[in-house]
Chains A and B, each alone.
Chain A
Amino acid sequence: MASQSIQSLELREQDASVREYIGKTLVTLVHGLTLPPPEAHLSLSVKRRANSTSCIINPITGALEASPRVETTRTYSWPAKTAYEEWKFSMTCTYTALLYSLTCLYSGHSSNSGYLGPGHSDGTAHLQKVNRDIYYIDPGFFRAQYVVDGVIDDLAYTIGVDREALSVDTLIPRIENADEIEISRVRWVLVIEKEAVFHRLARAAYHTRATAGEGLLVTGKGYPDLSTRLFLRKLFDLASNRIVPLRFYALTDGDPHGIAIMSTYKYGSAAHLHENARLSIPRLQWLGLRVSDIIAVPEVLGDKALLSLTGRDRKKIISMLYNSPVWASDGPELQWRVELQRMLFLNAKAEIEILYECSGGLEGWIERRMFRQE
């Protein structure tokens, strides 16, 4: 198909720019090593990603994006002035070298194949499998998974490619542009914060039995990774021309993290401002859980169903209210803002599992709530 081959070419271009960047960087570094010590200034520059404290909701994409700013770069040199800089330098080098060895391994394979089908047979797909485990190559060196993630984000942003071109994990099947997804029978998509809740609904086959028709259950196990968001966005785009709209609902805990997770799906994350526009789900509806849902039916659930906020919860809520345009008083989600404030005001939060106990159980509650939202 013609459209497929165009998409494939675009994908190849991304890979090409990755290879080009890695090649250039390593050549420069190796060249630096050949010079006598006084002249050898080894350095790596990465573009600075936008700071999360200066972001806006883009009215066109409906996503959380960086506010307009001057682009700056950060340079790590060796020998370095500080231990931290030295560590960042060597980490970025190590990662770049790993990428290099992997692209070499697979470039021959994928260049022989003119078709990048859904079989994930290209080099990038293999990279992902390895990159997932990079942290475990040397946990002491990388210190934490988020450090690896940070390096990947910096490099992707510097090269100008999507993060998935360098890394991904595989909770959700990775969607290639050429993959076809058949969703004509799907009426709704329920995005679930918790894996346990997802399994409960899946075991009950709720996605086939709902009054609202056939649906899809998706979980990102807490804060979603980029491939989960990409998958959902793909569904969103595919259904954008349908006459009967595909409904997207979020089911999260009634606590600050639940609201933040829902916001990550709908608007994007502060860590990936440059990626949010193509990953956000502007029509995501808030199914629950609200603290008031639980207080309103005390005779069924009892006051014990509610938990008090911890000191960390309170800090989290205050920083959310302070820092993000999503919850601003002139922002797009006044109901989310006020729900966060009610949590503080009532000193209460609620977990989804509470709904197991309500009349009709979790499914009954979802049925009623979906009906109300339509």
Chain B
Amino acid sequence: MAPAIQGGKDYLYSPSENVIASLQPEVAALSRWHGAPPKGIGLEANLLAQSKQYLNWGSAENAHPMDIFSLAVTDKQTLTAGGSPDIKIHSTADADFPLIQSIDNAHNVGCHHIVTDGKGSRAISSGFDGKIKAWMCQDGYWAAEQKLTADLEAAKAWAIALSEDGQYLAGVNQEGRIKVWDLAADATQIRDHETKGSYGTCIDLSADGRFIATGHADGSVYIFTTETGRMPFSLAGLVKNVRTVAFSPAGKILAAAGDTRVIVLYDTASGEQIASFTGHTAWIMSLSWSSTGEYLLSSGFDGKIKVWSMQTKTCVATLSETDKAVWSVKWLPKTGKTEAFATVGENCSIAFYCEATG
């Protein structure tokens, strides 16, 4: 049995009273959104009793000239990267979501992954040319971490994930190898796990740092224990390309999805498949857990965005404001009482949504 996790809030089996209570509408939560109430635009209202509504909270239109492939969030910012060479930083502390910094020429041939640590003090980005770069944040302003970037010169990975404390970078490459680098020790490679060689498309590190999960082109999903470097069990993977894997905040559940259009949930203590969510009709590109683990967010190649309740195991909201692919979705760190998330993709914009209350 895996060690008990402190403060875990994953709703694995039967929801507690607390969960239900927390789903009640919060009074006056909108005061957080700077006066003007958000407009509900083009939302497909789900009329089920437990449905929720997410309102268009605003957007940074055409934030990039080309597709935005990746999105990372901190307490007050979004970091976005894609087809253009720059990384853009927008503020989420202001309802206009202003651009506050543009790191020009970060990746000349474009960037497909950008990740941040839990504190929002470090970011790692990965370019289409295979170059991995490190960035640090001071007083809300990002600068290149030159030495670390040089140390990462030999690091090769497609998908990357950064540990909560920013010390460990995990990556999976095109040969399906999973590696971990210690960024506090000159980016020394400390782990090298081999899988069956299928293209590694996605990776996640659990917030407590105990697990690494990867998804692969042949549909396989792996979980490694970071402490031992072993696979505690083999998972029954998906049949087709896996495009996204995500650990719940307490690390008890791993969600995986991709071309099968189904989201599969695994119990990380046993490796058993505990649930699957169907409803998407296109490839699923991205998954993100809300900070409490109550909701799972997913986005599809067809532009559809869905919110799934872990309590009811159903889809509680579907947004279809665009028919362009949504490459990445992320819940914003919960700063008020209301949950909000950001989405990026083929339409070159960053869109923000918040939960409708009352």
Could you tell me which A residues sit within 8 Å of B by CB distance?
Answer: 292, 295-296, 298, 303, 308, 311, 314, 317-318, 321-322, 329, 334, 337-338, 341-342, 344-345, 347
Tell me if B252 counts as interface (CB < 8 A to partner A): no
Tell me if B11 counts as interface (CB < 8 A to partner A): no
Question: CB within 8 A of A341: which of B108, B128, B130, B174?
Answer: B128
Shortest Cβ distance from B139 into chain A, in angstroms?
A: 29
Given contacts A308-B217, A318-B129, A322-B129, is CB(A295)–CB(B69) below 8 Å? no
B135 / chain A contacts, CB cutoff of 8 Å? none
* 8 nearest CB pairs, A to B: A321-B109, A338-B83, A338-B66, A341-B110, A329-B85, A338-B67, A341-B83, A329-B84
Question: CB within 8 A of A311: which of B109, B130, B174, B302?
Answer: B174
Shortest Cβ distance from B124 into chain A, in angstroms?
A: 18
Tell me if B181 counts as interface (CB < 8 A to partner A): no
A314 / chain B contacts, CB cutoff of 8 Å? 174
Judge whether A318 and B128 touch: CB under 8 Å: yes
Tell me if B349 counts as interface (CB < 8 A to partner A): no
Judge whether B259 and A303 touch: CB under 8 Å: yes
Given contacts A295-B283, A303-B240, is CB(A334)–CB(B109) below 8 Å? no
Task: Give the size range of B's interface with the partner.
Answer: 20 to 34
Tell me if B19 counts as interface (CB < 8 A to partner A): no
27 A-B interface contacts by CB (under 8 A): A292-B325, A295-B282, A295-B301, A296-B301, A296-B302, A298-B282, A303-B240, A303-B259, A308-B199, A318-B109, A318-B129, A321-B109, A321-B129, A322-B108, A329-B66, A329-B83, A329-B84, A337-B66, A337-B83, A338-B66, A341-B66, A341-B109, A342-B67, A344-B128, A345-B69, A347-B199, A347-B241
Cα A125 to Cα B329 with chains together (Å): 62
Q: Which residue of B lies closest to A320 (CB)?
A: B109
B interface, by DSSP: helix, strand, loop or mixed? loop
B282 / chain A contacts, CB cutoff of 8 Å? 295, 298
Given contacts A318-B109, A318-B128, is CB(A347)–CB(B217) below 8 Å? yes
Tell me if B331 counts as interface (CB < 8 A to partner A): no
Question: CB within 8 A of B110: which of A295, A303, A321, A347?
Answer: A321
Could you tell me which B residues sit within 8 Å of A by CB distance?
Answer: 65-67, 69, 82-85, 108-110, 112, 128-130, 174, 199, 201, 217, 240-241, 259, 282-283, 301-302, 325, 327
Shortest Cβ distance from A307 into chain B, in angstroms?
A: 11
Cα A228 to Cα B37 with chains together (Å): 61
Cα A347 to Cα B158 with chains together (Å): 11
Judge whether A329 and B327 touch: CB under 8 Å: no
Cα A48 to Cα B55 with chains together (Å): 62
Cα A314 to Cα B174 with chains together (Å): 10
B302 / chain A contacts, CB cutoff of 8 Å? 296
B283 / chain A contacts, CB cutoff of 8 Å? 295
Cα A344 to Cα B240 with chains together (Å): 17
Cα A298 to Cα B201 with chains together (Å): 21
Judge whether B65 and A334 touch: CB under 8 Å: yes
Judge whether A341 and B217 touch: CB under 8 Å: no
Shortest Cβ distance from A309 into chain B, in angstroms?
A: 9
Q: Which residue of A lies closest to B113 (CB)?
A: A345
A347 / chain B contacts, CB cutoff of 8 Å? 199, 201, 217, 241
Question: CB within 8 A of B112: which of A298, A317, A322, A341?
Answer: A341
Judge whether A334 and B83 touch: CB under 8 Å: yes
Judge whether A345 and B84 touch: CB under 8 Å: no
